[in-house]
Structure 1
């Protein structure tokens, strides 16, 4: 091999087909499609809830049902990509997203909108999995951190466009991602899939998620509506683990849906934990930060969206820079530890916020947690991938395990997102009533002999109600909302150090440098 094929650090440069850059641009478009929905939701939810006369519970379901569907669907997509190929699954996911977006735009009521969001979750779940798996197929291990960071950066660079770019993404995939579909017949693959494991897993996760997102909202935690699905979900999750360990791949059954060996190494297990915590914290903060700005800071939806632009750009830029540095240095451990420390400091700073802060404070408070959150996008993914069992020394990695682990990273992220939003909603619902009653008892919510009570069921639409209240009462409700949001920041502050501990406890694995050319890897993969 000539010296031109090597970088200054001695690592091998990628030999890519001429269409690689265009295909990677298509992946960037897909990342934007899958993430822009969350941004739009967070800023528009109060207006949507008010316009469709949605209760807090309905608005809550609208916000979490996409994550619910994503969470259940992503591991299944990881298996389906092995059967039908990554390209077909990606196009199907894009079409599902486009159809559900149109259905949501035409929805006449909140119920139809919730159904549309669930279908969108199935689409975005597939997009997230397929993008990450395609990176595994096309990019050597040491370069994946850089590519993952660039994918995160791409979401911000195209954030001024709109969702019709999904059509462009489909065209790019059809014409430029010219990868062969090889392997055994689809019917044979379908017969050998672990359908029993898929059903048990999907049912158990659905039960647990239902209990978590409705507990303290639609039903009390002691209600049978919560306890029954929660207990059954936990029991069947244990059954799933036992089935995958003892029966999957034996007695004529298909190979394990989620092989437990993916979690067997310490760094992989901690990597999945970091992924869960990252999803929980990073999605809870922007979601409830916008709600805080809308209620406690008296900012319009448009103004609030402008004020959170720093985090919108800091996160992907820090992800790109961190990914490039990880690829250059070949390590990731201390990047992850630093990232969680920054998130802990940022969340702690947010807890000091009260009603009516200045714009400078609002924007400055986003710096630390955004830096940390961005670094973790490539960091957590690299930790999980690098820890999977490899091939013999010098031959790289077992890509089948890496692809499955990659789909589980997407699953753990969505699970963390659902936990984060549910955690905040539970704090909002449970604390709102008690704090309102306490302030009302002191007479602070009364004006001219009339007491103004906003129930917990309308907490998320408080901003719309405040404008109709006397100024003194409105000021009290802004303070109440700020105090309750502080509880969310406190919880996130306590969770972030757990991520730093997990990062420090991980091994500082060195990323592989020696890889086959991309053309050879493509021929060996079913994409």
Structure 2
């Protein structure tokens, strides 16, 4: 495809990526109103989020492998239809059970579209030229991540729209993207040896079930049961057994869902480890900074969304500039190393915040985090894609996306548990200093986030507790980010190839 044709197809792909990413965050602010309108429970509140997370993360490597075996364009159009129907159904839901079911199907489409967009771009454009296009991807991701909660709050607050438009919002954009891509996307057919593609159904099932069990444990631990309990032992042990069996199956089948020979190589393995740190930045930054602005500083949901603009600006600028420099030089390692270092500095800066920190300090830390994510996130995918032939592109891209999402999810859960325990401890100690008896459940004050109904002294205590605790969790995030620095330093310093596929001799060596 020439540059003009690529830009036409990219417009549809970027529109899809924007809609998918914004759909994962747009309900976060509106969810209390949604559950209230549908007469749902706290447990169902959690499942509206968990259902999407489970199906999206668990299906990512499977979609990636299918992209290697079948037509990428056909899979993309099918995924668009799945996402469209699920969004429509979620918008028309009359009870929480129906909403959860459609959110699970929506997650299936979201997982497919996120990985297929990356795979198709890699199939159209050589790694060397892909850098500048990755800048567009980073910009779209930044706007969608920050704009989702902001847009969700505005839609829910507008009496002439209402919460159902949090789901209907995606429909016109999805339909336009379907029409654009069906006419503009032209990919070369990948010739494969053998009579018929074989799908590893057993491996796919073991991976999906094993990851689902692990994510369910991450979701419920420290809320429904303790970290050290029989439930933890059963779920973690079961996940380890299932994933161990999956590794055994994947090592023996001809067409593995997760190509172990790729994951075991030095650069792909290091890229995956570094992606875990970036995952914490992507998910943790958005989740806990939003809470910091609203609870720790007293801003409204809409204002909290606006406060995250420095992070969005960092991602947008760094991904665009670094992407063009990568394409010009053909070198990617220096930008990834610099990105992980800047990311760590951003976390260290935010580790010193509390409820009274000057805004410029918080904004500076957020800008550094955004800059680090923009320089490293898509370039880490590029490192992996540069080492595999076109026939393995989908599975390899699916693997790194899967591990990034999984690491980010686990990271958010751990950071959330630390935040909750720290807040409870600080509030209990503060109440005791005020002479309030906490033996009857005063420590649970942190669970009530209706600050407007609290007396002024207690409201300020809660704000201070959340402000200080947010700084503490970013200390942990900084330590995780250091692991990313170490991993990227040991990446091989190689130039990106000019061809979409590996040369024949390199393809043969990649199979070893």
Whole-Å separation in 2 of the counterparts to 1:171 and 1:374 = 30
- TM-score of the pair, normalised by structure 1: 0.83
Gaps of 5+ in 1: 1-14, 250-254, 389-397, 518-527
Within a 5 Å distance, the mapping from 1:146-185 to structure 2 comes to 146-155=132-141, 163=170, 164-179=172-187
Whole-Å separation in 1 of the counterparts to 2:291 and 2:325 = 35
Q: Cα distance 1:418–1:55, how it changes in 2: closer, same or farther (>3 A)?
A: farther
Offset from partner CA, 1:50-91 (integer Å, 9 cap, x none): 777877665444444423221101111012223441112212
For residue 144 of structure 1, what is the aligned residue in structure 2?
130
Q: Say if 1:432 and 1:484, in contact at 8 Å, map to a contact too.
A: yes
| Root-mean-square deviation over aligned CA pairs | 3.1
Q: Say if 1:217 and 1:429, in contact at 8 Å, map to a contact too.
A: no
Q: Does residue 200 of the first structure (1) align with residue 191 of the second (2)? A: no
Q: Displacement, 1:402?
A: 2.8
Q: Does residue 350 of the first structure (1) align with residue 350 of the second (2)? A: yes
The answer to which of 235-244 and 168-177 deviates more is 235-244
For residue 410 of structure 1, what is the aligned residue in structure 2?
401
Q: Cα distance 1:156–1:354, how it changes in 2: closer, same or farther (>3 A)?
A: closer
451, 456, 463: which is aligned to 1:471? 456
The answer to which of 127-136 and 426-435 deviates more is 426-435
Whole-Å separation in 2 of the counterparts to 1:472 and 1:197 = 56
For residue 319 of structure 1, what is the aligned residue in structure 2?
319
For residue 284 of structure 1, what is the aligned residue in structure 2?
284
Q: Displacement, 1:512?
A: 1.1
Q: Displacement, 1:293?
A: 0.8
Whole-Å separation in 2 of the counterparts to 1:330 and 1:45 = 44
- TM-score of the pair, normalised by structure 2: 0.85
For residue 425 of structure 1, what is the aligned residue in structure 2?
416
Whole-Å separation in 1 of the counterparts to 2:228 and 2:312 = 39
Q: Displacement, 1:109?
A: 4.9
Q: Displacement, 1:493?
A: 0.9
Q: Cα distance 1:365–1:49, how it changes in 2: closer, same or farther (>3 A)?
A: farther
Whole-Å separation in 2 of the counterparts to 1:302 and 1:80 = 40
Q: Cα distance 1:220–1:451, how it changes in 2: closer, same or farther (>3 A)?
A: closer
Q: Say if 2:66 and 2:394, in contact at 8 Å, map to a contact too.
A: no
For residue 455 of structure 1, what is the aligned residue in structure 2?
444
Q: Cα distance 1:153–1:224, how it changes in 2: closer, same or farther (>3 A)?
A: same
Within a 5 Å distance, the mapping from 1:286-435 to structure 2 comes to 286-388=286-388, 398-435=389-426
Q: Does residue 496 of the first structure (1) align with residue 478 of the second (2)? A: no
Q: Does residue 100 of the first structure (1) align with residue 86 of the second (2)? A: yes
Whole-Å separation in 2 of the counterparts to 1:480 and 1:326 = 43
202, 213, 221: which is aligned to 1:215? 221
Q: Does residue 484 of the first structure (1) align with residue 484 of the second (2)? A: no
Whole-Å separation in 2 of the counterparts to 1:477 and 1:470 = 11
Q: Cα distance 1:259–1:120, how it changes in 2: closer, same or farther (>3 A)?
A: same
Q: Cα distance 1:431–1:173, how it changes in 2: closer, same or farther (>3 A)?
A: same
Q: Cα distance 1:264–1:180, how it changes in 2: closer, same or farther (>3 A)?
A: closer
Gaps of 5+ in 2: 152-168, 503-512
Q: Say if 1:67 and 1:415, in contact at 8 Å, map to a contact too.
A: no
More helix per residue = 2
**SS of corresponding position for 2:485:** helix
For residue 256 of structure 1, what is the aligned residue in structure 2?
256
**SS of corresponding position for 1:513:** coil
Offset from partner CA, 1:465-484 (integer Å, 9 cap, x none): 11011111100011111222
**SS of corresponding position for 1:19:** helix
119, 134, 137: which is aligned to 1:133? 119
